[in-house]
Amino acid sequence: MTTKAQGNSLLVTADILQTLAADIKAAYESNADTNAYDDAAAAQLSQLAFDVADLANTIASISIPAAAPAPITRYYQANNTWFKPAGLKAIKVIVVAAGGGRSPSVLAGHSYGSGGGGGTAIRTIQAVDLTAQVAITVGLGVSSGNGGGSSFGTYCSATGGTAGAPESGPGGGGDGGGGDFNIPGQEGGGGTGFAIGGPNGGTSYFGGTVGAGGGHSSPGGAGYDGIVVVEEYY
């Protein structure tokens, strides 16, 4: 380092002053708690970084289950056999019987009573409680008679609606059995004196014509067929 004497002072060049400033700064900051960013703040930041890393690891370890697949729904409108598929967890069965037929008009000029709607049984069954195959029976509607019953093996069943009664009386609704929910069919309508035609039949669980009783608007006054619906959950 070169200096030049001037009286009692030393003249220091600019580059030497820069070097001295850097050395002084380094020496000053080597002491504890000499900065605004002190040791306590450094320790807090280090802990925060650890906590963030730990949280990231925790989130990464969480297993989010995939959404359950939509059930497969099978509709049976005639007698059949259901086979238990691999990977099945449970099924929901809806069994609907056929509607009863209308009654013939007994008295001249009188309308006939209509048939009642078929009953319904709804049941959820775990796969472990199901046999490898199950016989399915679907009730058929008849003219001027009781509707046929439907069933899903021995697990649940439903009876058909009864035919319109003689003297223009209404047919009764069928009923369900063995289900978690057993729902009766709607009663048919009674005939009226000196009327043309007659009332519509009673409805079942699904409404419309499925399992409905026969009335003046149904072909030949026959009740409508039932149905068995199986929803498979995996």
Instruction: Tell me, yes or no, whether 143 and 166 share the same domain.
Output: yes
What domain count does the chain have? 2
- Domain edge (last residue) among 40, 61, 82: 61
Burial grade of 103 (CB within 10 A; 0-12, 13-18, 19 or more): buried
Would you write out the chain's pLDDT as a tens digit for each of its 234 residues?
Answer: 444 545 554 455 555 556 666 776 676 667 666 655 666 776 777 777 777 777 777 777 887 777 888 999 999 999 999 999 999 999 999 999 999 988 765 556 566 788 999 999 999 999 999 999 999 999 999 888 899 999 999 999 999 999 887 666 788 999 999 999 999 999 988 665 444 445 678 899 998 889 898 876 665 688 999 999 999 999
The predicted structure's pLDDT at residue 114:
87
Instruction: Tell me, yes or no, whether 165 and 209 share the same domain.
Output: yes
Four-residue CA torsion sign, 114, 212, 183, 145: positive
The Cα–Cα gap between 148 and 157 comes to: 11
Instruction: Tell me, yes or no, whether 96 and 186 share the same domain.
Output: yes
The predicted structure's pLDDT at residue 220:
63
**Whether the Cβ atoms of residue 166 and residue 103 lie closer than 8 Å to each other:** yes
- Domain edge (last residue) among 61, 84, 100: 61
Instruction: Tell me, yes or no, whether 182 and 126 share the same domain.
Output: yes
Give the global pTM: 0.69
The Cα–Cα gap between 193 and 49 comes to: 90
The predicted structure's pLDDT at residue 194:
44
Q: How many CB atoms lie within 10 A of CB 198?
A: 26
> Containing domain of residue 35, as a range?
3-61
- DSSP state, residue 174: -
Which run of H or E residues covers position 106? none
The predicted structure's pLDDT at residue 226:
97
Instruction: Tell me, yes or no, whether 179 and 90 share the same domain.
Output: yes
Instruction: Tell me, yes or no, whether 107 and 57 share the same domain.
Output: no
Instruction: Tell me, yes or no, whether 56 and 74 share the same domain.
Output: no
**Phi, psi angle pair for 197, to nearest 5°:** 75, -140
The predicted structure's pLDDT at residue 125:
98
Instruction: Tell me, yes or no, whether 9 and 112 share the same domain.
Output: no
The Cα–Cα gap between 10 and 55 comes to: 60
Instruction: Tell me, yes or no, whether 51 and 96 share the same domain.
Output: no
The predicted structure's pLDDT at residue 225:
96
Instruction: Tell me, yes or no, whether 134 and 204 share the same domain.
Output: yes
- Domain edge (last residue) among 13, 45, 61: 61
Instruction: Tell me, yes or no, whether 136 and 217 share the same domain.
Output: yes
Instruction: Tell me, yes or no, whether 16 and 55 share the same domain.
Output: yes
The predicted structure's pLDDT at residue 51:
74
